[in-house]
Amino acid sequence: MAGGSLTITVDDEGMLPAVIQRVLCDILVADRGKVKTTHGGNGRLAIVVPEEIFQGALALKPGGTNILAGYVAGTKVIVNVGNAGSSWLGPTIADPPGACPGDANRIAINAVATNVGANPKAITIDYANGVGLGTVDVDWGDGTTTLGAAESNAALAHTYKDVGAYVITIRDSSAPVDATAARTAIKIP
């Protein structure tokens, strides 16, 4: 396969964390780091999946349509996910949030709060660590990282310097592999 890709945009950025998690769940653990973000045609953050890591099918919601059906090798396809609603939010995509169905020992993102203390660039992230995992390493997506506690339901704060869209990745710092990682996307206005 040569150079093709799938770009997924969303109508409502509130859907983005669930959509990116669903995409990551349908990709081999070793390939999850190859998924990138960019800005889509609607000006919002978009997810880009290179053709080389397609698994043959990608349904963004349980029982949904395979958005790779009919894909022609080498092409660049853009799919927009619309109709924001309860079917896109919460545990219908991944339960717990930030983990894939069937994953027993992963980090899960419980909540992300933005505009903390009335500062539009300040956020907090609450995560639950998998059983037996060590301290976590949070990559804020802006070139900075923070070490966090091994305990579950821990919260970390961060303030971004610039506006923009960021993908936050939380990994076990003692064994930093994607098998235990959780990701979410945010936009700082």
Kindly report, residue by residue over 50-90, the tens digit of the pLDDT: 998 887 777 776 566 788 888 888 898 888 876 544 344 33
Same domain, 128 and 79: no
Are the C-beta atoms of 1 and 12 separated by less than 8 Å? no
Instruction: Look up the domain containing 67 and give its range.
Output: 1-95
Same domain, 13 and 44: yes
* Claim: this prediction has a pTM higher than 0.75: no
Same domain, 45 and 82: yes
Q: Which residues of 99-131 are buried (b: 16+ CB within 10 A; e: fewer)?
A: bbeebeebbbbbebebeeeeeebbbebebbbbe
Q: Kind of pairing, strands 145-148 and 182-188?
A: unpaired
* Least confidently predicted of 6-15, 125-134, 171-180: 171-180
Average pLDDT on 17-45 reads 74
Please compute, for residue 27, the number of CA atoms within 13 A of its CA located in the half-sphere on the CB side. 24
What residues does 49 pair with on adjacent strands?
Answer: 6
Please compute, for residue 134, the number of CA atoms within 13 A of its CA located in the half-sphere on the CB side. 8
Name the one residue in this structure whose structure tokens are 């109709």: 83
Same domain, 17 and 41: yes
In single-letter form, the type of residue at position 112 comes to V
Query: What CATH number has the domain bearing residue 164?
Result: 2.60.40.10
Same domain, 80 and 5: yes
Provide the domain count of the chain: 2
Strand order of the sheet with strand 145-148? Answer: 145-148, 136-139, 164-172, 182-188
Higher pLDDT, residue 184 or 43: 184
